[in-house]
Structures are given as C-alpha cells and as structure tokens.
Structure 1
Amino acid sequence: MRGETSLASDKETRDKYAPRLKSKGEDALRVATELYAFVNLLDANKTLERALTDPSRSAADKQQVIDLILGQEADPLTVDILHDLVAHQWSRIAHIANAAEDLSVDATAYYADALGITNQVAGELAEIHSALLGMPLVLFRLSDEYGRPEARVNLLKSLLDEQDMHPVTEQLALNATQDLRGRRFPDTVMWLVDRFSEHMDQVMVTVTTAVPMSDEQSSRIQDVYGRKLGKPVHINSVVDPSVLGGMKVQYGSVSTDGTVATQLKHLRRRMTTAG
C-alpha cells in the first residue's frame, strides 16, 4: 500500500496534468511510451530512484538529473510531468515509479479516447485476463520474476498473435509481463481494466459461470449492478466449468462467490471440523 504522502503526490500530479494529456490527442501515446520507459529505468536503477526521491536534495537539483537523462529528445510534456514528480515528497522511494506508471496509463487512455477505442481496449484486456484464468502454467510463466523478460514477452506474443486485438491492448499486456513490477501478470491486467473503466466512469464487473450466460442474464446483472453502483456497468463474462454452477461476481476488490464449487468446499470444511 502507498502512504498518504505518496497518494497525495500521485493524485496532485495526475489531476494537474490530466487536461494537458487530454489535449495531446493522438500525441499522448508518445508521452505514455516515454513515461513507461522511465518507469523501466527506475525499476532497474534503485540508486537513481533514491536520488530522485531524496528529500535532502532540492527540486531544482533533481530536475537537472531528469534533464540529463532525457536530453533534448523527450516530449516537453513528459519532461514537465517528471519535473513535477521529483519535486514532490514520497512515502517510499519506489512510489515515484508507481506514479510515473499511473501517468503513463492515463496518457494511454487519453490516446485511446482520441482514437475512439477506449471501451474496446478495456474489453480486450478483460478478455486476455479471462482467457488465461484456466491456464495456470501459462500464468505462472508470465508472472515468473526469475524468468527472462524476453521469454515472458515472446510467450505472450505467441498467445496473442491470432487474437486480432488492437495494438494498444497488446502493448499494455506486453508491458505487464516484461516488467512485472513485483506483481503477478493477471493482477496487473485486471488493474489496467479497472483503470480504463474508471477513466470511462464505468465499472467492469466480471461474472464467472460454468456455462455461457444468456443475453437476458447478462442484461439483468448489468441492470442490477448499475443501480447498485450508480455507474454504467460493463460485463466481463468468464466461462469456467470447474465452478460447476452458480456464479462469482467481482468488481474492483469486491467479490461475491456463489459458485457450487465454493459452496462444496465450505461444506467439506464444516464436515471436517464437525467430525
């Protein structure tokens, strides 16, 4: 979890630069790419990350370090954002990279807005997450921090090759396995789904069932949760025969599991305890 200081710094910078990122239109992709490259640099160089979050150094000094790293090639908005980040205080040194990642995703979302594909990207990311849930060995390899990043990326590319997904979706997914950032691949993908849904002021609700839901069932769940959450709801339907029956509904960190498999597990636990 991030401390209050980091949360405040992250929010302040994101709110400050949201209008400028939005106004960049399709050029926001360049900013997103540059910010994510900087995240990778910080993840690989803890000494640099420590220097850029050192409260004993002046903001001007840390901004000069940014200028030396970026040179004259970076987009001026990228430079401004990183100047702003190093001028803030952080609860932990790693939180500045998290903030840069947040802003990279924001920039990507505004780029998707400019192309009119924001909902498509969120849906395709959810599809990737759902498709891999039944492939534990693949998920392990995509989340293996001891494996080579190139191997993880090549594995995911081979899985996505015939899916005909938008390049933005594919790049976000590839980023999630190339630099794991201390997270499991599916967790990062789900985080991205939630971020894009939040950007669209929607909620992504994942419903897991043993067999495909009918259109009527999907519409009913969409209506119920739309009224419950007070926002438009997008249904991500996952078919997993191992749940046997019933359904599991999840949005954000909230999960309601009414599947037969889970009920049987609870029943066996109670019987074992009673015996």
Structure 2
Amino acid sequence: MTPELLRERLAQAGDERMKVAEDLFGVADFLRTNSSVQRALTDPSREESDRDALVDRLFAPVVSAVSIQCLHDLVAGHWSRPRDIVHAVEETGCDAVLLSAQFDGVLEETEAQLVAVSVFLQSHRDLRNELSDLSALSPKGRADLAQTVFQSVLGQPSLRLLRRCVGRTSHGHLLGKLRELAVRAANLSGRRFVFVESAHELSDDQKKRLEKILETKLASPVSATYTLRPELLGGLVIRMGTERVDASLATRVGALKRSIVG
C-alpha cells in the first residue's frame, strides 16, 4: 500500500487517524498467529472479492470502515509468501502513525525523537538488551518499560512507535527498526535520510557544509543524524539508503597496511 493511498484513507478518518493505526496493529497481531488466515488472504487462486469478503467477516465487527478499506487495499496485492502480509500490515500501521503525525504537524519532531532514542540506546547496552530480550519480559512488559524510561521526552506518535518496536522486535534488531522508522518519516516529508559517523564531534558549520554538499549530490533535502565512532580515527562514514561512502582514516590506514603486506 503506497503512502499516497494511505494518506488519502487517513484523510477520511479525521480525528480517528490513530485508531486506524491501532486497528492495523491489532490485525497484524492476529495474523501473526493465524497462518491459515495468512494463506487465505494471499491465495492468488482466490478472487479478490472472496478475499475482501473474508476481511469483512473477520474484522468489520471490530475495526473502523477506513481500516477495512486499508485491508482491502493490502489483500489486493501479490505475495511471495503468506507471512509477508503480516509484515505489510505492520508497516502500514507504522506508516499510519507517521502520517497522523504529519497531519498534526509533528512529523519532523517525531523523526528527531526516534533518532534520539536510537542514539541513546546505542550507548546504553544494558537497557537496549533488556528491551530486546524476548525471554526476560513479555511484549507488554518490554513496551511498558520503554514507556517508563522515555515517556517524559517523547510525543504520542514516537512513544507509540517505540512501544510497538520494543514489543515486536527480536533481539539485536531494535536499533535497526527505530532507524528504519526515522528513514520512513524523512521520506514522507520528501527528504533523504543520511547517517553520518565521525571520529570527532562536528561543528555546526561543518554539519551545514556537509548537508549542503549532500543535498546537491542527492538533488533532495536531507535529514542527517550524526554518531560518534572514535575507532574511525578521522574522516567520515556516510550511509544514504543502500549506498555507503567510507572516507574514514581507519579504512585508509587498513588499506595501506594491506598494500604493504601484499
């Protein structure tokens, strides 16, 4: 389901936009534990009208009309594996939270908060592990812990997404999921998200110059997040989507050593 179509659907929901997100999260949870329904909703041999009828029968009594429209849009797709629909419904729920934030004028703030949480957790390993350990607490327990720690500094959209990430992300993937959501938020704003790693703190002027260079290269406004990695020794590592530019001193020294040994 494209963000543009979802935006149209949410515009119909008015003040109930966040309810659409909650509906989709609930459906994703249901599908996650019901493989037979996954197969029925993704079976290419079934008519689309049959799949829509199944959606209506299962979910119309408990979710909004706009949420049903979104589910109809989703089951109209083509699927490589039945379980892929679980991921698609989950992602659409996350996008609904982000688009709701955009409707409310707080999307950039939400993006910044998601980045701030990921940076904080990266430097606080014990808390990160506790929030990611599936054996220590229940999904709700992990989500409640995250809320206790972060609710005083997060808005409603970012707190909801954090709870969802913590409750549904397996060990070792929490930071990646938070960053992925920040990237999605930037994309919804028409900006490219860029990760910059440096050995030393960059000044504001250096950041502005770098972002201007990146905007020229990408032909797009950018949203950059900066992380310190002293082991780089100097220089920068920049990631833009699947592209990675490594101009760090550590990499150059390593290449020099290999050339000498070789």
Q: Tell me which interval the TM-score lies in, with the shorter structure as reference length.
A: 0.7 to 0.9
Which of 95, 98, 104 pairs up with 1:115? 104
Check whether the contact 1:153–1:177 (CA below 8 A) recurs between aligned residues: yes
Cα deviation, residue 193, structure 1: 0.9
CA distance in 2, matches of 1:239, 1:81: 41
User: Is 2:219 the counterpart of 1:230?
Assistant: yes
Aligned to 2:8: 19
Q: Secondary structure at the match of 1:24?
A: helix
Percent identity (aligned): 26
Asked whether 1:40 is paired with 2:40, we answer no
Aligned residue number for residue 41 of structure 2: 52
Q: Secondary structure, in 3 states, of the residue corresponding to 2:96? A: helix
Paired with 1:95 and 1:19, the residues of 2 have a C-alpha distance of: 24
1:116-155 correspondence runs (5 A)? 116-147=105-136, 148-155=138-145
Partner-residue secondary structure (3-state), 1:189: helix
Judge which range, 97-106 or 112-121, deviates more: 97-106
Please state whether the residue corresponding to 2:86 is helix, strand or coil. Answer: helix
Q: TM-score, normalised by structure 1?
A: 0.82
* Matched letter for residue 225 of structure 1: L
Q: Which amino acid aligns with 1:250?
A: R
Give, in whole Å, the separation in 1 of the partners of 2:170 and 2:256: 38
Q: Give the Å deviation of 1:116.
A: 0.7
Partners of 1:105 and 1:221 in 2: CA distance = 30
- Report the RMSD for the aligned CA atoms in angstroms: 2.7
Unaligned residue ranges in structure 2 (runs of 5+) = none
Match of 1:66, as an amino acid?
V
CA contact (8 A) 2:143 2:162 kept: no
* Inter-CA distance 151–240: structure 2 relative to 1 (3 Å threshold): farther
Is 1:274 equivalent to 2:229 in the alignment? Answer: no
Asked whether the 8 Å contact 2:107–2:185 carries over to 1, the reply is yes
Aligned counterpart for 1:156 among listed residues 136, 146, 150: 146
1:105 aligns with 2:94: yes
Q: Quick one: distance in 2 between partners of 1:240 and 1:134? A: 11
Which residue of structure 2 aligns with residue 74 of structure 1? 63
Q: Give the structure-2-normalised TM-score.
A: 0.86
Gapped regions of structure 1 (runs ≥ 5) = 1-9
Alpha-carbon spacing, 1:258–1:132, altered in 2? closer, same or farther (3 Å) = farther
* Counterparts of 2:205 and 2:77, CA distance in 1: 50
Deviation of the 1:111 alpha carbon = 1.1
Superposition deviation, residue 120 in structure 1: 0.5
Give the structure 2 partner of residue 92 of structure 1: 81
Residues 21 and 181 (structure 1), Cα distance of their counterparts in 2 relative to 1, 3 Å cut: farther
The Cα of 1:267 is off from its aligned counterpart by 5.3
Give per-residue Cα distances to partners, 1:40-64, cap 9 Å, x unaligned: 2212222221222122333333333
Q: Give the direction of change, closer, same or farther, for the CA distance of 1:248–1:158 in structure 2 (3 Å limit).
A: farther
Farther off after superposition, 248-257 or 72-81:
248-257
Give CA-to-partner distance per residue, 1:83-131, whole Å, 9 cap, x none.
Answer: 2322333121122222223322332222112211011111111112222
Deviations 1:157-198 (A, max 9, x none): 344244x11121111112112112798111111111111111
Change (3 A) 1:170 1:62: same
The partner residue of 2:174 within 166, 185, 208 is 185
Amino acid at match of 1:157: Q
C-alpha deviation, 1:264, in angstroms:
4.7
Using the alignment, how far apart are the partners of 2:205 and 2:165 within structure 1? 34
| 1:24 CA drift (Å) | 3.5
Give the distance between the partners of 2:249 and 2:120, measured in 1 at CA: 21
Over 3 Å counting, the alpha-carbon distance change for 1:255 and 1:79 in structure 2 is same
Whichever residue aligns with residue 261 of structure 2, its letter is A
Residue aligning to 2:199: 210
User: Cα gap change, 1:82/1:145 in structure 2, threshold over 3 Å: closer, same or farther?
Assistant: same
Q: Give the deviation of 1:23 after TM superposition.
A: 4.7
